Structure 1
Amino acid sequence: MTTPTQLRVTAVRAAAQDVVAVDLALPDGGDLPAWRPGAHIELRLPSGRLRQYSLCGDPADVGTWRIGVLREPRGRGGSVELHELARPGALFMVRGPRNHFPLTSAPSYLFLAGGIGVTPILAMVRAAAGRGTPFTVVYGGRTRSTMAFADELTAVAGDALTLLPQDEAGLPDLPRLLGGVNADTAVHACGPAPMLAAVERECARLGLADRLHLERFTAGDDLETAYDAAENRDFDVQLARTGGTLTVPADRRLIEVLRDAVPGLSYDCEKGYCGACETRVLGGTPEHRDSVLSEEERRAGRTMMICVGRCRGDRLVLDL
């Protein structure tokens, strides 16, 4: 669904402390678009907030999409709003699915999940189990009561799953876990920024960076410091659909300039990690500053995250 579609909440249940599982379906009960593990959808809340949630149900269930939502009282308000409004019969505008965290093809897998990062991992584990592909899952959380979908993950993974509540077992022993990875094993990780940073460092130390695939729910520390704003330059952006051309000064972000001219832009985090503002590039060479696109996607230059991206030349043409 490239354009927003109205979906109805069909079921809500507690998945853990402060986590609810929400089932969504078309009001007429029709089939939803197909999706693969790692995909996410974007919900527009009544407040106007846009939030992305990984699909964690079964892709074979063509009539239902399931998401897991952690209530974060100190967040930006979206999770609290959804927790308050998600009741059977409630309607939400939804866009998607999109997938920047696909399950790669590999002879075996190591899945690392932290907190609510278990949602895309659950779908991946289900797929690997269905294919008969060997895998290991390590799932960490603050306490057992906060670890969503643990029972469901246990039912699918069995003895291949290790649960690590931090108050009982401490933090995962990454050198041991990653040091035992076989040459043909792909590593998929999703969780809080400190966990992912630790996984990245250990994979780099062990020479496993090319086998690591991860998804961020918050900006990594490097996103704030990797680019020196003093090196920014002015550039023009042509809007292919509206026909206008705007100048983006060195001291303003692309999305700030676009917001002044294009109503209804889709964006959320404004830090380059959520993927909500992904926009097609029709001309020019984007300078990618996000943590969503793969290296292959960056080289292709067909899309960019307009909240943090800029232009390597003097002009961009966007599908806006």
Structure 2
Amino acid sequence: MSSHPLSLIVEVTGKRQEAEDIVTFELADPHGRPLPAFGAGAHIDVRVSSPGQDDLIRQYSLCNHPEERDRYLIGVLRDPASRGGSEAMHEAIQEGDLLQISAPKNHFPLKPAGRTLLLAGGIGVTPILCMAERLAHTGADFAMHYCTRSPERTAFRERIAASGFAERVRFHFDDGAPEQKLDLQRLLATPEPDTRIYVCGPGGFIDAVLSTAKANGWPAERLHTEYFAGAVTDTSDDDSFEVRIASSGARYTVPADKTVHQVLAENGVDIMVSCEQGVCGTCLTRVLEGEPDHRDLFLEEHEHAANDQFTPCCSRAKSPVLVLDL
């Protein structure tokens, strides 16, 4: 994996089981110094190490109050389809350990609105909860809907119940009574003026919210999303193509079974990568010529249409050649 600007060393000062398969980690400066400030919706990159495996870089949203400077709090779901990151966090990382992390980044920031509607699916609650804390602190008008498989898999229930915004939160469980399940059609039936929607969770949950909102006339610019995993793409028809480096003129063939990033790394062309699924935007690269085949979930529709940047960790080419601004 390419180098990555993980500039902070933090100590794991707390590890807690929040719900079935969900653990939170409290991170603090080992010397008690204030940590860099962050806004609601921010995340950090974490270098995850486990015996016998290469180090991995994973992104975790910050879920504590955004005005806290003495700690970061992240929640980690043990994913049965884990590529090693969540499993290592659950099993290998303990209180007292030191972790290498990045300063907070925010691709999912809160924007001014008359009213805010927060929708969380599963572990997607982490940035949404941080947003709720911020909105409550500023006296903003908001409502939060939190969907999980069951109460046992619902992280932060006690924290929400004890908060000053508990009455604004509605829980929806897959195994609960039909009448308590989230009715998206009813919730999003009419676009509300000056209301913004923020949604985070599994891809299917996000897609359901977006498709319902758009079908009911909600403007795209008022729908804000953050995905935790890349899209599932049919790669059976993938073909090879060529990338050209603008600065050197070097040309490389990208075969059907490799990514642009992999081919460039093999040839000494360094691009910073992190999620390797087109979710985080770390590897975003300018395209000077050619048409990308966008497979990321980071760029918005109008940014895909511009075709002047792409994610080499997962996206490919529709044209025979892509000229990259490297």
- What's the TM-score bracket when you normalise by the shorter of the two chains? 0.7 to 0.9
Counterpart Cα distance in 2 of 1:302 and 1:98? 23
2:155 maps to which residue?
148
2:244 maps to which residue?
236
SS in 2 for 1:167: coil
Tell me the TM-score normalized by structure 2: 0.84
Written as runs of structure 1 = structure 2, the 5 A alignment for 1:83-162 is 83-154=90-161, 155-162=163-170
Q: Which runs of 5+ in 2 are unaligned?
A: none
State the Cα distance separating 1:151 from its structure 2 match: 2.4
The equivalent position to 2:41 in structure 1, one of 23, 27, 38, is: 38
State the Cα distance separating 1:159 from its structure 2 match: 1.6
SS in 1 for 2:192: coil
SS in 2 for 1:92: strand
The one-letter code of the counterpart of 2:250 is: T
State the Cα distance separating 1:227 from its structure 2 match: 11
Counterpart Cα distance in 2 of 1:202 and 1:225? 25
Counterpart Cα distance in 2 of 1:3 and 1:284? 32
* Identical-pair percentage: 34
Q: Which runs of 5+ in 1 are unaligned?
A: none
2:18 maps to which residue?
15
* Kept after mapping to 2: 8 A contact 1:5/1:94: yes
2:62 maps to which residue?
55
1:305 maps to which residue?
311
Counterpart Cα distance in 1 of 2:147 and 2:310? 32
SS in 2 for 1:52: strand
Counterpart Cα distance in 2 of 1:12 and 1:302? 43
* Kept after mapping to 2: 8 A contact 1:286/1:316: no
Q: Is the alpha carbon distance of 1:40 and 1:296 closer, same or farther for their aligned partners in structure 2, counting shifts above 3 Å?
A: farther
State the Cα distance separating 1:286 from its structure 2 match: 7.6
The equivalent position to 2:212 in structure 1, one of 202, 205, 213, is: 202
Written as runs of structure 1 = structure 2, the 5 A alignment for 1:254-269 is 254-262=260-268, 266-269=272-275
2:188 maps to which residue?
178
State the Cα distance separating 1:283 from its structure 2 match: 5.8
State the Cα distance separating 1:289 from its structure 2 match: 3.4
State the Cα distance separating 1:305 from its structure 2 match: 2.3
State the Cα distance separating 1:263 from its structure 2 match: 8.2
SS in 2 for 1:13: strand
* Kept after mapping to 2: 8 A contact 1:41/1:97: yes
Deviation sequence 1:116-136 (CA, Å, 0-9, x none) = 000000011111111211111
SS in 2 for 1:98: coil
* Kept after mapping to 1: 8 A contact 2:41/2:109: yes
Q: Is the alpha carbon distance of 1:28 and 1:280 closer, same or farther for their aligned partners in structure 2, counting shifts above 3 Å?
A: farther
SS in 1 for 2:175: helix
Alignment of 1:316 with 2:321, yes or no, is: no
State the Cα distance separating 1:74 from its structure 2 match: 3.8
Counterpart Cα distance in 2 of 1:92 and 1:150? 27
State the Cα distance separating 1:23 from its structure 2 match: 1.0
Counterpart Cα distance in 2 of 1:185 and 1:196? 18
Counterpart Cα distance in 2 of 1:71 and 1:202? 29
State the Cα distance separating 1:158 from its structure 2 match: 2.1
The one-letter code of the counterpart of 1:101 is: F
State the Cα distance separating 1:279 from its structure 2 match: 4.0
Tell me the TM-score normalized by structure 1: 0.85
SS in 2 for 1:24: strand
User: Please, what is the CA RMSD of the aligned residues?
Assistant: 2.9
Q: Is the alpha carbon distance of 1:124 and 1:310 closer, same or farther for their aligned partners in structure 2, counting shifts above 3 Å?
A: same
1:220 maps to which residue?
231
Higher helix share: 1
